[in-house]
Amino acid sequence: MSKSLAELKEIQKQFDLGHTGEKQPFYIEITEKNVSDLEHLAVCLAGEVGEFCNILKKVTRGDFTFDQSKPELSAELADIFIYLIKIANQADIDIEHATLNKIEHNKLRFKRAP
């Protein structure tokens, strides 16, 4: 059931186009006129990162083992990834290209000492 990133982006876009939330549609193209919609997505992304971190906090303080928490961590990581895809789709950002460029930048920035 493996999918490429391009396929995942399209699946998410089609899902978002077919759904509406309480206040607005799930898919809104981000432009200069509605940057607040991008802000909303960013806050949602931050919330999901917070949920992931909260589970991890409980692991480190001993409430759960790492293995016990993996299903919840997996679900939260999927939520994070979905919001990243939504932002890339709706803001028309080529996330694949941007990621590859950033990796190349990081190779130069974090060169290993000889």
Residue 102 has pLDDT above 90, yes or no: yes
Residue 73 CB partners (closer than 8 Å, separation 6+)? 52, 55, 56
Q: What class has domain 5-109?
A: mainly alpha
* 9-57 pLDDT tens trace: 999 999 999 988 877 788 999 999 999 999 999 999 999 999 999 999 9
Task: Count CB-CB contacts under 10 A for residue 69.
Answer: 16
Domain ranges of the chain: 5-109
**What pLDDT, on a 0 to 100 scale, did the predictor assign at position 70?**
98
Task: Count CB-CB contacts under 10 A for residue 21.
Answer: 8
Round to whole Å and give the CA distance between 79 and 64: 21
pTM for this entry:
0.89
